[in-house]
A and B are shown apart, each in its own frame.
Chain A
Amino acid sequence: MDPGHFERVSALFERAREMPEGELEAFMNEACGSDAALRREMESLLAAHREKSPLDGCEPGEMAGRLASDLRDDGRAPERIGRFRVVGMVGEGGMGVVYEAMQDTPARSVAVKVIQLGMNTKQVIARFEAERSALARMDHPGIAMVFDAGATEEGRPWFAMELVRGVSLVQHCDLERLGLRDRLSLFMEVCKAIQHAHQKGIIHRDIKPSNVLVTVQDDVPQPKVIDFGIAKATDTEEDGRSVFTRHGQLIGTPAYMAPEQADGAASDIDTRADIYSLGALLYELLTGSTPLDTTALRGRGMVEMIRVIREDDPQTPSTWLTGRGAEAVVVARSRGTVPGSLVTEIRGDLDWIVMKCLEKQPDDRYTSAAELASDIRRFLEDEPVLARPHDAVYRLRKFVKRHRGQVIAAFALLLVLILGMVGTTIGMLRASERAEQVQLVSEFQAEQLGAIQPEVMGQQLREAIMQEVTGGDEQEMKEMLSRVNFTNIALGALESSIFTNSIDAIDEQFATEPVVKAQLLQTLSSTMDELGMYSAALDPQERALAIRREEFGNRHPATIESMGLMAVLLLNLGEVDRAIALSREAIEASTTLHGGDDDQTMTLRSNLGTLLRRSGDLAAADQETTRVLEWRKRELGPENPLTLTTMNNLAIIAKRRGELERARRLYESVLEAKMRVVGPQHLDTAQILVSLGAFHKDMSEFEAAETYYNNALDIRRTLLGDDHSATLEVLNNLGLLMLAMGRLERAEGYLREVVDAYRRLFGDAHPDTLTVMSNFGGLMREQGRNQEAFDLWIDCLASSQTLRGENHPGTLIIHSNLASALLDLDRPDTAFVHADRAVELGQPVLGESHWYLGVFIQRRGEALERLGRWNAAGEDLIRAHQIMLETFGEDHSRTVTVVEVLVRHYERRAEAEPEGGYDERASEWRARLRPEEETSD
C-alpha cells in the first residue's frame, strides 16, 4: 500500500464512518465501483470500526498497570554499583533498596543504599560532596561510616556505608526483654554518638529506630547510628524547603520529626531537631509507642499531619501507658515487669526528660545530646534531673494543658448527664409502653441537643480558662490561647464523646423498639446536621428514614418528616439531585395525606424551591416559591415570619433570574414588614439588611449598600458581639464593598479585622478562614501588591486542595485569582496553567453555563492573548461573554467588562495583523458598549 492510496481510503472511511445504515450501501457502490479490493478493504475497516478493538480494551490505565507489574518483576539486583560488587539485597525501605556489596581495596563488606525516589541525582551527590570531609572526620564506635556516594547507570544516587549486621534498637530491646535501666544505658550510648557527630558539625536529621541498629559482639551490644549525611544530601529542594513538603506529599518519618522540620524550613534546622528525634526514640523505648499517633493520621493529609506535629502535645509516657489495658501488659512484659511498676518507674523524672526533648520550641529542649545523656545518668544515679519544670512560662503552659482537658471533660459530662437522664427516663417508661411520653421525652432530648452551640461552648471554655489564670502572665496566656481553636475542640468533644456514644446507646437500648429508635436517630441526625457535621449525620438519617418507611409506610407524617429532613441534609452534602427527588416524594406523600393545601406540604414545597434554586432550575424554583408565598400570605398573613422568609427567598430567585425590579420590591417589602413587626434592633432585621446590601452592591449602587451593611453591622455587634460569625460576615461584606468602590484603605481595615478574627476563632485550617484570606488577597491585588497576593493565594491553594478538595468551587476561584495576579505580574504562561485548571475542573462541577466558569474562561482567554494565541483567546473570550450575557444580561458590569476585554482584544489583534479585518470586529464589539454609555449620559 502507498500513502496516496491510504489517504484515499482514509477519506472514504471518514465519510462512511457516520453514515446511516440505509445510505451506506449506495455510497459504497458509488465509491468502490468495480474495485473489489477497495470494497473489501473498506468493509474490513468498517467492520473493525464497529467492533471492539484491542486498542480500546487496553484502556490506558490497564496498560500502565500491566507495565508497572512487569517492571516490578524487573527489580533484580544489579551486578555492580560503582566500584562495589553486589552480593545480595539487605532490605527495602521507603527511600530505596539496600544491597550488601564487596569492595576490593580495601577488601570489606559494605552496605550500598540506592535511593529510589525521583531525586535530582547530581544535586544529591553535590550535597554529599559538600559534607564529605566533615563526615570523614567522624570517628565513633556508635556511628556507621559513610564511605562514598555516586550515581547508578539509571541515574539514581547511591551511598556506600559501613555494613552493620543487626536489628534496630527498639527491636533489640524488645527481643532481649531489656528492663528500663538497660534500655536507658543503650540509649545513652546513642546520645553520645550523636553528640560526637554534632561536635563535628553534622546533624543527622532522620534519627529513628531503623537508623539506630544494634550489633552484638562478644555478648556486648553496640548501638550504631547509620545514614549520617544522607538525609541532608537527599533533601534537595533549592529554596530551603525540606523534602517533607515537597510536591504536597509526605516524605520522611513524621513520627520522629521535629516540628520545625515538619514546617519545611530546612535552613532553620539545627542540632536540636536531632534532640527531638532522640526524645521520640526514647518515648518508644519506654512505652512501645511513638509520642504522636501519626500512623492514624496518614489518611488525613499533609496539612493535618503537619498541624499535629506542630501543635498537638503528646501524652507523657506514663499517662499513655495508664489505662492501656492488655496492651500495657504486653509492653510491660517485654520490659520484664508489670504495667503498674512500669508506670511508677516512668512517672515523674523520665516523663520530664522525654517531654523536655519533645518541646515544640527548640529553645525549650536540651541544648545538646550530652546534656540529655547527663540527665539520664542523673536519673539512673537517683540525682534530681534538670528537666524538672523551672520557669513560669513552662508551668503556665502545662497548666493550660491540664486545664483544657478538665474544662472539656466538664462540658462533656454535663451533656452526657442530660442525655443519660433522657436515656434513663425512657428506660423507665418502656415498661409502661406509653408512646406519648416517649414522644415527650425525645422532644425534650431534641430541645437539649438543639441548644448546643459549639461556638458558644468554645468561647465559654476560653473564658473559663482566662478567669482561672490570675496573677500569671496574662499576655502570654492570651497569646497561647489565641492559637487554640476552641470551637473545634468543642465540636470534637461533641462528636467523639456525645454523638457516637448516643448512636451506640440508641442501637443497644432500643433494638426491639424501632419506632422510638427512629425518633431518636432522627433527632440526633438533625442536630448533627445543624452543627454542620453533615457526613456523620447521614448514617443515622438514612437509618431513621428506612425504619420509618418500614414501620409506617411512606404516607405517614413521621416518614414524611424524615424525607424532608434528609432532603435538607443531602442538599448540605451537595447531592442536589437526590435531594430534589426525595423532596418531591415527600410532597407527593404529604399531598395524599393532607390534601396538599396545608401547612406541612407548603413547608416541603418551600424547601423544594430552595433545592431547585440550588440546582439552577430557576423557573421551577420561582413557580414553587411563588405558590408557597401566595398560600402563606393568605393563610398566615402578610407579616408572618414564614411569609417573610418566603418573600426573601423569592427575592433571591428573582434576582438570579435577572428580574431586578421585582427583586428590589420583594426585599423592600420584607424590610418594611420586619421593621413593623420586630423593630429595627432585631437579628431578623439585620439579616434582611444584609441581603439588601448585597443586592445593591450587585446593582453597583454602592452608597445604598454601605448604608444597609452599616445598619446591619450595628445591630449584630450589639446583639451578638464582635466575634460572632454573623458580625464578621457583615464586616467581610463591607470590606469587599469598599474594595469594589476602590476605597482600599477602609477595605483593608475591615478585611484585616475579619481575617484576624477568623484565624483566632477557627484557626488557619478552616474553610471560612481560607475564604476570608483569599478575599484579602483580592485587596492586596487592588493595592498593586501582586506578588504578596500571589504568595498568599498559593498558600491558600494548597490548604484549599487539602481541606475542600481539588475541584471545590472555592479551590477553583483561588486558581482563577492566581491567574489574575500572574497576569499582572506578567507571567501569562503560568497564569494560563491556573486558569486552564479552573476551567477544566470547573466545567463538570459547575456546569457549562455557571458564571464562575465564565470568569475562569475569561481569565484563560486573557492569558492566551498574552501568549499570542489569538484564535484560542478569541474563542474563550466570546464564550465567557456568552455565559455572562445569559446569566446577568447585557447591562451587568460583568458582561460589560468582558465586552471591554473583547474590544481591546480585537484592537490589539488588528495592530498585530493589520490585514485580518480585526478592526471591524473591534468596532462591532465597541458598538455593544454604546447603549450603556448613552443611558448613563
Chain B
Amino acid sequence: MSDGFQLTRILRSDAEPSPDDVNEITPMLYAQLRELASAYLRHERADHTLQPTALVHEAYMRLVDQTEVPWSDAMHFRGIAARVMRQVLVDHARKHGALKRGGGYHRVTLTAGLADQGIPDLDVLELEHLLVKLAGLDERKARTVELLFFGGMTHREAARMLGVSRKTVEADWYMARAWLSSQLGKDD
C-alpha cells in the first residue's frame, strides 16, 4: 500500500484525527513541511512572508490527489496538519534545548519579526506547557488555538471543522488568547 492510499484512508474517517492517525502520517507530513519550508526559503525573496496555510495547502496537494478527496477530507487533513505543525515545533524546540545542555536551558522562541511593535517573543515549550494545561480545562479552546495558530485556519474554517458557530470560535479564541497571554511569562 502506498503512502497516498494510507493517507486517504486516514482522511476518510469522519471523526477528529485520533492520536494514531497523527502518528501514522506525521513522518510524511513532517518531511513535507520541512522540505517545503526550506524550499520556500531558498527560492523566495527575503521580504516574502511565509504562510503556514500555504505550506499546509501545498503539502496537502503533494500528498493527496486533490480530485479524489472531498472538502471535508481536506479540512480533516488541515486539522491534522495543525497538530503536526505544533508537534514539529515542539520537537524542534526540545531538540535545540537538548543541544544546549550543559550551557543551561536554551529557550527556543518564535520572534515576532517586527521588533518595534512591542510584541514579546513566544517560548515554544512554555506555550506547549500552557496548551496542555488549557486542554485540561477546556479541550475545545485548546483545539481552537491549535487550528487557528498552528493550522493557519480562518475562524470560519475552524468553525466548520469543530462543528460550532463562528461566534463560538471567536469567543473561544479570545478567551484562550487572553488566558494564555496572562499566563505566559509567569514562571510556574
Contacts and interface: CB of A to CB of B under 8 A. Distances in A.
A70 B33 CA distance: 12
Nearest to A56: B119
B38 A57 contact: no
A63 B110 contact: yes
B138 A7 contact: yes
A54 B119 contact: yes
Contact of A54 (B52, B55, B92, B120): B120
A70 B113 contact: no
Contacts of A914: none
Given A71-B34, A121-B3, A54 B179 contact: no
Given A48-B178, A56-B119, A71-B37, A118 B59 contact: yes
Contact of B138 (A3, A49, A63): A3
Interface stretch (A576-584, A610-618, A830-838): A830-838
B155 to A, nearest CB: 13
A279 B30 CA distance: 41
A75 B52 contact: no
A61 interface: yes
Nearest to B179: A45
A68 B44 CA distance: 12
Contact of B37 (A62, A67, A123): A67
20 contacts: A6-B137, A13-B174, A46-B178, A47-B182, A49-B181, A53-B177, A54-B122, A57-B114, A57-B117, A57-B119, A62-B111, A66-B111, A68-B38, A71-B38, A72-B37, A72-B38, A122-B3, A155-B3, A829-B71, A833-B71
A64 B52 contact: yes
B3 A52 contact: no
Contacts of B41: 65, 68-69, 72
A162 to B, nearest CB: 27
B175 A13 contact: yes
Contact of B178 (A1, A13, A120): A13
B31 interface: yes
Contacts of A829: 69-73
A833 B74 CA distance: 9
Contacts of A3: 136-138
B62 interface: yes
Contacts of A48: 177-179, 181-182
Contacts of A6: 137-138
Contact of B49 (A61, A72, A118, A836): A61
A475 interface: no
Interface of A: 1-3, 6-7, 10, 13-14, 17, 44-49, 51-72, 74-75, 116-118, 120-123, 154-156, 247, 829-830, 832-833, 836, 867
A122 B2 contact: yes
A45 B141 CA distance: 15
Contact of B2 (A45, A53, A123): A123
B96 A70 contact: yes
Nearest to B152: A60
A10 B138 contact: yes
B51 A833 contact: no
Contacts of B23: none
A61 B52 contact: yes
B161 interface: no
Nearest to B154: A840
Contacts of A60: 51-53, 149-150, 152
Interface string B38-51: 10110000000111
Most chain A CB atoms below 10 A, which of B30, B112, B120: B112
A529 B104 CA distance: 66
Nearest to B74: A833
Contacts of A52: 117-119
A857 B33 CA distance: 33
B113 to A, nearest CB: 5
Contact of B70 (A13, A59, A68, A830): A830
Given A54-B112, A122-B2, A10 B175 contact: yes
A61 B3 contact: no
Interface in B108-139: 108, 110-114, 117-122, 136-138
Interface string B97-111: 000000000001011
B65 to A, nearest CB: 9
B50 A118 contact: no
Nearest to A154: B31
